[in-house]
C-alpha cells in the first residue's frame, strides 16, 4: 500500500522543519506523497518540490487558508494549486499584513492580562514565514511565562482564552473561490473544530469539494460520521497528521495517512 499525509506544515508558517527537511522526513517514513499546507502561504512549496526531485515522493502544492464566519475561524485546505496564480499571491500578501496586525492586537490583549510581551520578539521567532499564534506561544515560553506552547494556548491565546483575537479578512466563500481560482481543490480542515455540522452543508453551497475526515483529534466514531456526511454531501475525503514538528512532539509525520487512491480522486477534480 502507498500512503499520503495531506496536512503538513513547514518553517514557512508555524512548523519547525524546513521544506527540505520535511521531504527527508517523509522519505524516512516511507510516504508516497505529502501536501505542504502552510498557513496562508505557498512559499515553502518550491523548495520542497526541488528536494523531492528524483525521489519516490510526490509533493503536492497546498495551503491552509484561515477564514472567518461570524465569530469563528474556519480553516480551508487547498490542494494542487498553481502557486504562481496572480490573484492568489496578491490576496496572500494582504492576508500576511492582516496576520501582522493580529499579532499586535493579541500582544496588546496580553498586556491587559499583565503579560508584557514585545511584538518584535514574536516576529523574530517567525522570521520570514507566516506569523501566527504558535509564534506568540513560543515567545511566551521563551520569556518564561509558560512552560509549553500548549499551556500558552490554554491560558492566553486559545480560541476561548482572554487574549484571543479573531480578525481574519477572508470569508469561507472567498477562501474557497481563491483556492478553486488557482486550480485547486477546496477541502474543510479538521471539521470537529466547527462544533456546527450544519455549517458544512452551507460551505458545500459555497463550492466546498472535500472534507478532512481523517485527523489526529477525530475519534473513530467521528471519522465514521464524517465519512457518512461526505457521502451524503458528495464530498471528497482527505486526511493528514497536521504535522508541525517539535512544537507538537506527539504528532509525527504520517501519524494520520490516507491511501494514495484518495489523492488520485482529488487530482481528478482539480480546477
Q: For residue range 40-81, what is the model confidence (pLDDT) as tens digits?
A: 999 999 999 999 999 999 999 999 999 998 888 899 999 999
Q: Is 195 exposed, middle or buried (0-12, 13-18, 19+ CB in 10 A)?
A: exposed
Task: Give the pLDDT confidence score for residue 250 in this predicted structure.
Answer: 93
pLDDT of residue 211: 98
Domain edges within the chain: 3-85+171-269, 93-157
pTM, 2 dp: 0.92
Residue ranges in the chain modelled with pLDDT below 50: none
Q: Which fold has domain 93-157?
A: DNA polymerase; domain 1 (1.10.150)
Cα(174)–Cα(170) distance, integer angstroms = 6
Domain 3-85+171-269 CATH (choose: 3.40.50.720, 1.10.3720.10, 3.50.50.60, 3.20.20.140)? 3.20.20.140
Whole-number pLDDT of residue 271: 59
Amino acid at each position: 500500500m502507498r500512503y499520503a499525509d495531506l496536512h503538513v506544515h513547514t518553517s514557512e508558517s508555524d512548523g519547525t522543519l524546513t521544506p527540505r527537511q520535511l521531504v527527508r522526513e517523509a522519505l524516512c517514513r516511507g510516504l508516497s506523497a505529502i501536501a505542504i499546507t502552510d498557513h496562508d502561504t505557498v512559499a515553502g512549496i518550491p523548495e520542497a518540490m526541488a528536494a523531492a526531485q528524483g525521489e519516490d515522493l510526490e509533493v503536492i502544492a497546498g495551503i491552509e487558508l484561515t477564514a472567518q464566519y461570524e465569530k469563528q475561524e474556519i480553516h480551508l485546505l487547498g490542494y494542487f494549486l498553481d502557486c504562481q496564480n496572480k490573484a492568489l499571491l496578491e490576496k496572500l500578501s494582504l492576508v500576511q499584513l492582516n496576520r501582522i496586525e493580529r499579532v499586535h492586537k493579541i500582544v496588546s490583549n496580553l498586556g491587559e492580562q499583565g503579560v508584557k510581551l514585545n511584538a518584535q520578539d514574536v516576529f523574530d521567532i517567525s522570521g520570514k514565514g507566516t506569523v501566527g499564534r504558535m509564534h506568540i506561544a513560543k515567545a511566551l515560553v521563551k520569556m518564561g511565562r509558560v512552560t509549553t506552547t500548549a499551556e500558552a494556548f490554554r491560558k492566553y491565546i486559545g480560541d476561548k482564552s482572554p487574549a484571543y483575537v479573531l480578525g481574519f479578512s477572508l470569508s469561507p466563500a472567498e477562501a474557497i473561490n481563491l483556492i478553486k481560482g488557482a486550480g485547486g481543490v477546496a477541502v474543510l480542515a479538521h471539521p470537529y473544530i466547527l462544533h456546527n455540522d450544519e455549517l458544512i452543508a452551507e460551505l458545500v453551497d459555497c463550492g466546498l469539494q472535500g472534507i478532512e475526515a481523517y485527523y489526529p483529534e477525530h475519534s473513530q466514531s467521528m471519522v465514521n460520521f464524517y465519512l457518512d456526511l461526505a457521502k451524503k454531501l458528495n464530498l471528497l475525503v482527505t486526511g493528514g497528521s497536521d504535522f508541525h514538528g517539535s512544537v507538537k512532539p506527539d504528532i509525527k509525520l504520517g501519524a494520520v495517512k490516507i491511501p494514495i487512491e484518495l489523492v488520485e480522486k482529488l487530482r481528478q477534480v482539480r480546477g
